[in-house]
Amino acid sequence: MTAVRCVDLSKTYRQGDQEIRALDHVSIDIDAGDFVCLSAPSGGGKTTLLNAIGGLDRPDSGEIYIAGERIDTLSKAELAELRLHRIGFVFQAYNLIPVLTARENVEFVMQVQGVGPAERRRQAEQILEEVGLEGMGERRPAEMSGGQQQRVAVARAIVSKPALVLADEPTANLDSTTSDELIDLFTRLNRHHGTTFIIATHDRRVMGYARRLVKMLDGRIVDDIRQHAA
Amino acid sequence: MSGVLRISSALAWRNLWRNRRRTAIMLAAISVGAWAMIFLTALTQGMVNEMIRDGLSVLPGHVQVHHPDYRDDPSIANLIPVADGELEDRFDAAGFQDWSTRIRVPAVISSERETRGVTLLGIDPARERNFTFVDLETLDGRFLDGTEDRGIVIGRKLADTLETRTGKRVVVMSQDPDNELADRGFRVIGVYRANLPSYEEQFVLIGKRTAQQFLNVDDRVTEAIAIGDDFREVEPVLQEVRALMHGDPVTVNAWWDLDTYLGAMLPMMDGFVLVWVIVIFLALSFGLVNTLVMSVFERVREIGVMLALGMRPSAIRWQIVVESMLLLVFGLVIGNTLSFASTYAIRDGIDVSIVAEGMEMMGASARLVPDLTVDNVVLANVVVLVLGFFASLSPAWRASRYDPIEAITTVQ
Amino acid sequence: MTLRLAWRNLWRQPRRTLLTVGAMVFSNVLLIFLISMQVGMYGLMIDNGLKFSTGHLQVQAPTYIDEPKMRLTVPAAAALARELRGIDGLEASARGVAFALAASDERTYGVSVVGVEPLHEPSVSSLPGLINAGRYLEEDDAAEIVVGAVLAKNLKLTVGDELTLLGSGLDGSFAAAVVTVAGIFESSIPDLDRGFSAIPLGFFQETFFMGDAGHLVVVTAGSIEQVEEAAVEVGERLPDGVVLHDWDALEPALRQSIQADLGSSFFLYFVLVVLVAFGVLNTQLMSVLERTREFGIVLALGLAPGRVGRLVLAESALMGLLGMALGALFGGLIVSYLSINGFTYPGMEEMSAQFNLPASIHPRVTLVSLFAGPLMVLVFAVLASIWPALRLRRLEPVVAMRAAV
């Protein structure tokens, strides 16, 4: 089954006088349950592609389907709904909400979804345990290390069991040990829950874990390799 | 409340305490503003009440009946064309809080030393004890003891000018309905004090029957008055008196027609309260909007994350508006408490006698007693909340319109 | 240098600066409007309160001011008035004051009867100019009277009708005269229109057995500012047994009602200024917190903490000046417009009548009314930023540079 299908996506930015082709006729299909790495140098278009798939950004032309449903024509509110229920995000700079504790950050999405308090708490604690943050639920982001914060962010992304998790440079701010732990966590989740992962990165270690490695340059896909994950 | 609203509200609450210093300053500003709104309103309301009460004590009466020509020509010739006995029966049966019939005419009073123009009141002392402007406690001598009392009660200032006192004789001159000069000697039986010194110069009181004999009007009066429970709620009394006098050629007026200065006070007061509250709010609103804008600006990235995670823009708006409303509600609670406390502290009034004559020029007495009315407190609070809601819409709208990608990548 | 830096810093957060300056402009415009209204109103209150009869100065018998009694007289009043008129720039007129019962064919009322010098009264009082029927008294009039419009209506009198005055003379004996109505005035001041009348001083002295005495000599100077100087000159020429009072003593209610009004307005102004100061405090505190790192760097480079503090004060002062300039501009425009066209609001007519004022007020644009309020705002704005500025003194450069941005 196809989790994500992109058909002929193009997107141009203006930066000062310069036109930047972030996406140049990109087409790609990603299977459900796959573990994909998008790799490209800075400005290569990987973040733009990720944002377009996540419904955060609209392409100038082309079509995007998530689980067979076309999303590039949806309204802002419909896109918000889509992200809320079916897509998990992990950002480069963790981006936790500073006034909420780790557990509350994880519960945030469920709360917006309207899940009851008891159920929310149970799931949040379970997922925090799964990402190795047992007993840290009541800490605020400022009281945690970068790796811990990023694990909270991952927990937040997967807690509502989205079919698709999008991660943009998740290891950029982490040391190598912590990065390994995080990737380990990703692959575990991928295997246990069958969650599709699309990770934009230029971290070689992360690429090593990918089952499919998509390389981009100047807004185009230049290489698409199936590999056996380490 | 749904989950989204609850989390937005919880976030609003926590964000409020994120920058304690800023919140504290804003709270202080709102508190001072709310205090100033309510406290000054209470003082002004107190002054207005006092002015109206004093003014009504001379008029007196919330509703008055006169001969149609009396107000233009307040002469003994313009008597109510209904016998006093008949008037008394009608008013008695109606069951007003207070009522009276009286004679009020201009007159000249002379001692052996001086002559002054005054207003002569012929009253039924038993009826008027309840609402007279004469301060019965500090009265030197005695008050009139019946409608046929042969003595006269005059004010302290007039007594000084006339160089007379209790027990001495004065001569009162006026006219009878045929413009024949009426003059008669009276013994001063009482010298009174009043809240406003000008009354002490203007009004002299004698018994109603005595006045009727003196002015040669048999069983007739110039005015009949009725008093209700509250000077603000005079309409029912007015209707009742109109019904009582139905068919007789008389005019029936409420107090605001009789004294247009006093009549203008109440609407002026309401206008003042509203303008004052809005002015203070506007001065506050700049700070409020500024605080919200800063608070939103600091959180651009978080707001982006929430949007990216699928929170609807409306929930972001709600969050900012709730934050603003919480700020206002707390400020109002403190401000209201402060104003209740300060009003309570001066509940017996503050002495402004250094400017007593200036206050009297406005018709107010030298003691300022605050009056905290529910209406005014509610008005101030509602105005702040409603306008505060609208003022927070612009920062809230801005916050909800962020583009999540840009917001997340914003360097802070 | 500090100023240029301060100015640039203000525009790093234009929205915040504009909101803060906006609060200042709002308050300044309001203050300018209110203060100009007050200055205009007080001027009117004083002028109107004095011009009808009080004048700027009065010569009286010593205790007459407390108890205006018939027997407390000024001897040879007309001669004294003549002497005072000899002083450059002063006008003076003698008066006698009595109460009498005025009886027409149909009605009788108590009135105040004032004996005036017909030739000189118009230079100390505006009443002679307010005749709306007949004429004012003339030099060789005797048994002629001028009465207020309401009194004339109440007595059912018109010009040419006769009126009987009954009262007591100086010695307490019965005084009576029959006079003819020469004119009727309308001042719009209820007390005057209802109970005031004027007859020639000579006839007054004759009727009330006054000899050559009067009760007052009313003096006016060129303007209210010259009264003090005039009082000195008049004082030098006074005979024994009389005293001189200025308008303040004659009409204490006037100054006091101005003071009472000033008192409540100061409360209002103070609250406005304090609210603006809170806004400035908030803005400056935030801006200092935001720039902690930047300040750390300049401190590390060796800039004295005092200079950094001054920078913050300079920013507030600049905002204050900007608020002052814009406030004075807009406030000045509004007030100038109103000073030509007048300002009125519902209910003001009744209020104004109580204070002898016209129904619309023309605010007065003066330096004081334009800049007193904004200056107050400026001072408080700078005061409010002292705290944020002082915080900088405690800043440790190394800690500051590490501060999260």
- Which residue matches tokens 């017996």? B348
Q: Of the candidates C276, C227, C317, which has an alpha carbon nearest to the alpha carbon of residue C6? A: C317
| Residue B93, burial from CB neighbour count under 10 angstroms (0-12, 13-18, 19+) | exposed
For residue B303, what is the nearest residue in chain A, using CA coordinates? A97
Distance CA B327, CA B391 (A): 13
Rounded to 10 degrees, what is the CA torsion of C40, C45, C51, C56?
A: -100
DSSP classification of residue A12: E
Query: Is C22 part of the contact surface with chain B (CB cutoff 8 Å)?
Result: yes
Contact B309 A114 (CB under 8 A): no
pLDDT at A230 over 60: no
Radius of gyration over every alpha carbon of chain A, rounded to an integer in angstroms:
17
What residues of chain B, 41 to 80, have a C-beta less than 8 Å from chain C? 43-44, 72-75, 77
Domain boundary, last residue among C228, C250, C272 = C250
Contacts of B308 in chain A (CB under 8 A): 54, 56, 83, 89, 91
Q: Are strands C144-148 and C174-185 parallel, antiparallel or unpaired?
A: parallel
Domain containing residue A22: CATH number: 3.40.50.300
Distance CA C110, CA C101 (A): 4
Distance CA B340, CA B338 (A): 5
> What residues make up the domain containing A47?
2-226
- Given this model, what pLDDT does residue B159 score? 92
pLDDT at C91 over 70: yes
For residue B401, what is the nearest residue in chain A, using CA coordinates? A76
Instruction: Please tell me the total count of domains within chain A.
Output: 1
DSSP classification of residue B353: G
Q: Are residues C165 and C235 in the same domain?
A: yes
- Mutation target to probe the C interface, by most C beta carbons within 10 A, among B23, B108, B169, B174 is B108
- Given this model, what pLDDT does residue C348 score? 67
Residues of A with CB under 8 A from a CB of B: 51, 54, 56-57, 76-77, 80-85, 87, 89, 91, 93, 95-100, 108-109, 111-115, 156
What's the first-to-final CA gap in chain C, in angstroms? 26
Q: How far is B324 from chain A, CA to nearest CA, in Å?
A: 17
Number of Cβ pairs < 8 A linking chain B and chain C? 191
Q: Are residues C97 and C44 in the same domain?
A: no
Q: How far is B367 from chain C, CA to nearest CA, in Å?
A: 12
- Given this model, what pLDDT does residue B299 score? 82
Residues pairing with C102 in the sheet? C109, C165
Q: How far is A230 from chain B, CA to nearest CA, in Å?
A: 31
Token reading at B126 = 């038993």
Are the CB atoms for C361 and C344 separated by under 8 Å? yes
Q: Are residues C66 and C108 in the same domain?
A: yes
At B287, the pLDDT band (50, 70, 90 cuts) reads: confident
Q: Which of B40, B74, B361 sits opposite C355 (nearest CB)?
A: B361
Kindly report the number of other CB atoms within 10 A of residue A175's CB atom.
11
Q: Of the candidates B151, B107, B121, which has an alpha carbon nearest to the alpha carbon of residue B59? A: B121
Q: Of the candidates C102, C89, C140, which has an alpha carbon nearest to the alpha carbon of residue C118? A: C140
| Segment C93-107 mean pLDDT | 88
Q: Are residues C88 and C199 in the same domain?
A: yes
Contact B25 C168 (CB under 8 A): no
Instruction: Please tell me the total count of domains within chain C.
Output: 2
For residue C167, what is the nearest residue in chain B, using CA coordinates? B115
- Given this model, what pLDDT does residue C39 score? 81
| Residue A134, burial from CB neighbour count under 10 angstroms (0-12, 13-18, 19+) | exposed
Are the CB atoms for A199 and A182 separated by under 8 Å? no
Q: Are residues C203 and C96 in the same domain?
A: yes
Contact B112 C254 (CB under 8 A): no
At A229, the pLDDT band (50, 70, 90 cuts) reads: low
C348-351 LR contacts (CB < 8 Å, sep 24+): C349/B264, C350/B260, C350/B261, C350/B263, C350/B264, C351/B261, C351/B264, C351/B268
Query: Is B267 part of the contact surface with chain C (CB cutoff 8 Å)?
Result: yes
Which 3-state string (H, E, C) describes chain C?
A: CHHHHHHHHHCCCHHHHHHHHHHHHHHHHHHHHHHHHHHHHHHHHHHHHHHCCCCCEEEECCCCCCCCCCCCCECCHHHHHHHHHCCCCCEEEEEEEEEEEEECCCCEEEEEEEEECCCCHHHHCCHHHHEEEECCCCCCCCCEEEEEHHHHHHCCCCCCCEEEEEEECCCCCEEEEEEEEEEEECCCCHHHHHHEEEEEHHHHHHHCCCCCCECEEEEECCCHHHHHHHHHHHHHCCCCCCEEEEHHHHCHHHHHHHHHHHHHHHHHHHHHHHHHHHHHHHHHHHHHHHCHHHHHHHHHCCCCHHHHHHHHHHHHHHHHHHHHHHHHHHHHHHHHHHHHHCECCCCHHHHHHHCCCCCCECCCCCHHHHHHHHHHHHHHHHHHCHHHHHHHHCCCHHHHHHCCC
Q: Of the candidates B117, B186, B152, which has an alpha carbon nearest to the alpha carbon of residue C108? A: B117
Distance CA B274, CA B378 (A): 11
Average the pLDDT over each of A32-46, A190-204, C16-30, C41-55 and give the range with the smallest value: C41-55
Contacts of C353 in chain B (CB under 8 A): 261
Residues pairing with C57 in the sheet? C219, C246
Mean pLDDT of chain A: 86
Contact C167 B115 (CB under 8 A): yes
Contact B283 C27 (CB under 8 A): yes
Contacts of C268 in chain B (CB under 8 A): 40, 276
Are the CB atoms for A59 and A22 separated by under 8 Å? no
Q: How far is A227 from chain B, CA to nearest CA, in Å?
A: 31
For residue A112, what is the nearest residue in chain B, using CA coordinates? B4
Contact B7 A51 (CB under 8 A): no
The secondary element (H helix, E strand) that includes residue B368 is strand B367-368
Amino acid identity at A135:
G
- Given this model, what pLDDT does residue C257 score? 79
- Mutation target to probe the B interface, by most B beta carbons within 10 A, among C32, C41, C109, C269 is C109
Q: How far is C25 from chain B, CA to nearest CA, in Å?
A: 10
- Which residue matches tokens 């402009």? C25
Contacts of A113 in chain B (CB under 8 A): 3
Kindly report the number of other CB atoms within 10 A of residue C328's CB atom.
19
Q: Are strands A87-90 and A35-39 parallel, antiparallel or unpaired?
A: unpaired
Q: Of the candidates C6, C10, C49, C96, which has an alpha carbon nearest to the alpha carbon of residue C307? A: C6
At B77, the pLDDT band (50, 70, 90 cuts) reads: confident
pLDDT at B301 over 60: yes
Token reading at C176 = 């009576």
Which 3-state string (H, E, C) describes A66-90?
A: ECCEECCCCCHHHHHHHHHHHEEEE
Distance CA A201, CA A38 (A): 6
DSSP characters over A84-131: HHHEEEE-TT----TTS-HHHHHHHHHHHHT--HHHHHHHHHHHHHHT
The secondary element (H helix, E strand) that includes residue B223 is strand B223-227
Distance CA A221, CA A217 (A): 7
Query: Is B395 part of the contact surface with chain C (CB cutoff 8 Å)?
Result: no
Contact C101 B173 (CB under 8 A): yes
DSSP classification of residue B327: H
Q: Which of B75, B113, B290 sits opposite C283 (nearest CB)?
A: B290
Q: Are residues C109 and C8 in the same domain?
A: no
| Most confident range, picked from A22-26, B375-379, C196-200, C310-314 | C196-200
| Segment B358-370 mean pLDDT | 72
Q: How far is B27 from chain C, CA to nearest CA, in Å?
A: 10
DSSP characters over B99-156: EEEEEEEEEEEE-SS-EEEEEEEEE-HHHHTTT-SS-TTS-EE----STT--EEEEEH
Query: Is B350 part of the contact surface with chain C (CB cutoff 8 Å)?
Result: no
pLDDT in tens, A110-144: 887 888 889 888 989 988 888 888 888 888 888 88
Distance CA A26, CA A62 (A): 8
User: Phi and psi dihedrals of C161, rounded to 5?
Assistant: -75, 160
Average the pLDDT over each of B334-348, C212-226, C357-371 and give the range with the smallest value: C357-371
Contact B25 C281 (CB under 8 A): yes
| Segment C253-278 mean pLDDT | 82
| Segment B335-361 mean pLDDT | 81
At A171, the pLDDT band (50, 70, 90 cuts) reads: confident
For residue B411, what is the nearest residue in chain A, using CA coordinates? A93
- Given this model, what pLDDT does residue B190 score? 93
Q: Which of B163, B175, B271 sits opposite C108 (nearest CB)?
A: B175
Distance CA C94, CA C219 (A): 9
Are the CB atoms for A168 and B304 separated by under 8 Å? no
Domain boundary, last residue among C234, C250, C266 = C250
Specify the 3-state DSSP secondary structure of B183: strand
Contacts of B11 in chain A (CB under 8 A): 97, 99-100
Are the CB atoms for C3 and C308 separated by under 8 Å? no
Q: For residue C193, how many C-alpha atoms fall within 13 Å in the half-sphere facing its CB?
A: 15
Specify the 3-state DSSP secondary structure of A64: strand
- Given this model, what pLDDT does residue C405 score? 43
| Residue C223, burial from CB neighbour count under 10 angstroms (0-12, 13-18, 19+) | exposed
For residue A81, what is the nearest residue in chain B, using CA coordinates? B310
Q: How far is A57 from chain B, CA to nearest CA, in Å?
A: 7
Contacts of A156 in chain B (CB under 8 A): 309
Residues pairing with B251 in the sheet? B66
pLDDT at B412 over 50: no
Q: Are residues C277 and C393 in the same domain?
A: yes
At C359, the pLDDT band (50, 70, 90 cuts) reads: low
Q: Are residues C71 and C212 in the same domain?
A: yes
- Given this model, what pLDDT does residue C352 score? 67
pLDDT at C29 over 70: yes
Q: Of the candidates C212, C148, C222, which has an alpha carbon nearest to the alpha carbon of residue C183? A: C148
> What residues make up the domain containing C183?
57-250
More confident residue, B124 or B4: B124
| Segment B69-91 mean pLDDT | 86
Domain boundary, last residue among C208, C225, C250 = C250
Contact B309 A81 (CB under 8 A): no
For residue C252, what is the nearest residue in chain B, using CA coordinates? B357
Specify the 3-state DSSP secondary structure of A222: strand
Average the pLDDT over each of A173-187, B346-360, C333-347 and give the range with the smallest value: B346-360
Query: Is C168 part of the contact surface with chain B (CB cutoff 8 Å)?
Result: yes
Are the CB atoms for B94 and B226 separated by under 8 Å? yes
Q: Which of B26, B32, B282 sits opposite C274 (nearest CB)?
A: B32
Q: Of the candidates A39, A61, A41, which has an alpha carbon nearest to the alpha carbon of residue A50? A: A39
For residue B277, what is the nearest residue in chain C, using CA coordinates? C268
Query: Is C279 part of the contact surface with chain B (CB cutoff 8 Å)?
Result: yes
- Given this model, what pLDDT does residue C48 score? 77
Amino acid identity at C23:
A
| Residue B1, burial from CB neighbour count under 10 angstroms (0-12, 13-18, 19+) | exposed
Q: How far is B365 from chain C, CA to nearest CA, in Å?
A: 12
Distance CA B161, CA B164 (A): 8
pLDDT at B358 over 60: yes
